[in-house]
Copies of this chain bind each other. A is one copy, B any other.
Amino acid sequence: MFFISAIAPLFPPLLATAEAENAPIVSSGVLLSLVAIYFASKLGAEVSKRLDFPPVLGELVAGVVIGVSALHLVIFPEGGLQATDSAVMSVLQWINGLTPEALNSVFQSQSEVISVLAELGAIVLLFEIGLESDLRQLQAVGTQATIVAFVGVAVPFAVGTVGLMMLFNVAAIPAIFAGAALTATSIGITSKVLSELGRLKSKEGQIIVGAAVIDDVLGIIVLAVVASLAKTGEVDVMNVIYLIVSATAFLLGSILLGSIFNKTFVALVNKLETRGNIIIPAFIFAFFMAFLGNAIHLEAILGAFAAGLVLDETDARNELDELVKPIADLLVPIFFVTVGARADLSVLNPLIPENRAGLAIAVFLIVVAIVGKVATGWAVFGQPGINRLAIGVGMIPRGEVGLVFAGIGSASGVLDKPLEAAIIIMVILTTFLAPPFLRVAFGQSEEPPTGGEPSMEATAVSKT
């Protein structure tokens, strides 16, 4: 492993020294960025909650406000942005009096750290969603939910992709990526709105939640396939088949292996006597699965999700849920806020003529996102008198997984700015529109008084 060390001294000692000297400044930049991110996320979440919208929406909007579209507090070195554009870097520059070269190097380093922290946030988010998705509950809602889920993935994906290619001349890979971003319903937002309406236990509610869970799984598989296509840059049918098979095999294989690993994990955890006896083995597993997801050219989050599904089957589940919560609380907002911060919504400013193509794409995506999911209600059969419209409308809100698509697309450079901004706008609007639409679909003008649920980002299906 260590045998080629003689060649390629690409990093002269001078650079290494400069980096060592700048190390505390990089940490300062990371700390200040995190303070800005946390402050924005909490403010956004609380305002959103007060206005009766899901907190995640507020975090996303807060990200847009502190990001490249407005305050420039948290920006990334992409699209020609420099250290001097960043408010955090200006503070560091004012405190430390750095040279432009040193400042740009600090900017580069701290942006990389924040990006990886955001990705760890996405990994922990999907790990938590996996931990809270109950496979047995899915079997109970059965066939109807599965049909709704498949239709709700297939229709928006197909219409979105083909529409973008035919109507807007978008290239195949970004069109497929954007189409894929239309697929996954937000479990968290959907189940929260249903519970607020007092309809979570209705037949419609059960089908919606069940379909949303299956949807999430399908969405993650679609993302893994699409992101992998984006890496190779080609649409090769054999490759698509390979990816779908490997993603499905990876997920099913982990679940099957999980039923064996299950007991080993609990036995191991019970034998450990030092601090972190549950959380460290759980994260070794989650991070290793995430690494494996990356290594077989799928996605890290698919691995984290599979790890969550597996550990959900263990007896350490409830304790683990409690321990993962504060970690998710700390890491997940970094992900949501940076997705918003990276999105340059100025490319959709309707006052500038050349933006109108991007705006038209955004409008198209929103229409497909709504119509494609509303159509799913009519896929339900053998259920006379069921509220088909309510089921379809219940599937509208995109959220966490849609944002993961936008985040990965943006980080990998597949999506151009207008398309990325259009996806973000689509996620924001479907999330805004779902609660009032759902009230109308259920024929309620006033909400019945309910307790509501304290958490939403990954509340999902409650445990049995």
Contact = CB atoms under 8 A, between A and B. Distances in A.
Nearest to A48: B274
A147 interface: no
A141 to B, nearest CB: 26
Interface string A346-388: 0000000000000000000000000000000000000000000
Contacts of A10: 82, 100-101, 104
Contact of A295 (B28, B81, B279): B28
A24 B323 contact: no
Interface string A312-326: 000000000001111
Contacts of A7: 84, 100
Contact of A8 (B11, B16, B82, B323): B82
B112 A275 contact: no
Interface stretch (A284-292, A418-426, A433-441): A284-292
A31 interface: yes
A392 interface: no
A413 B326 contact: no
Interface in A108-139: 108-109, 112-113, 115-116, 119-120, 123
A344 to B, nearest CB: 14
A294 B45 CA distance: 29
Q: What's the interface size class on A, roughly?
A: 35 or more
A21 interface: yes
Contacts of A104: 8, 10-11
Contacts of A23: 115, 411-412
A60 to B, nearest CB: 13
B333 A294 contact: no
A447 to B, nearest CB: 17
Interface string A1-32: 11111011111010011011101101110111
A34 interface: yes
B16 A78 contact: yes
A454 interface: yes
A31 B330 CA distance: 18
A288 B31 CA distance: 7
A287 B20 CA distance: 21
Nearest to A32: B291
A46 B294 contact: no
Interface in A267-289: 272-276, 279-281, 283-284, 287-288
Interface of A: 1-5, 7-11, 13, 16-17, 19-21, 23-24, 26-28, 30-32, 34-35, 38-39, 41-42, 45-46, 49-50, 55, 72, 77-78, 80-82, 84-85, 87, 90, 95, 100-101, 104, 108-109, 112-113, 115-116, 119-120, 123, 231, 272-276, 279-281, 283-284, 287-288, 290-291, 294-295, 300, 323-327, 329-330, 333, 411-413, 454-457
22 contacts: A2-B72, A4-B84, A8-B84, A8-B104, A9-B80, A11-B108, A20-B413, A24-B300, A27-B119, A28-B291, A31-B287, A32-B291, A38-B287, A42-B280, A45-B275, A49-B273, A112-B112, A113-B116, A275-B456, A279-B326, A279-B330, A327-B327
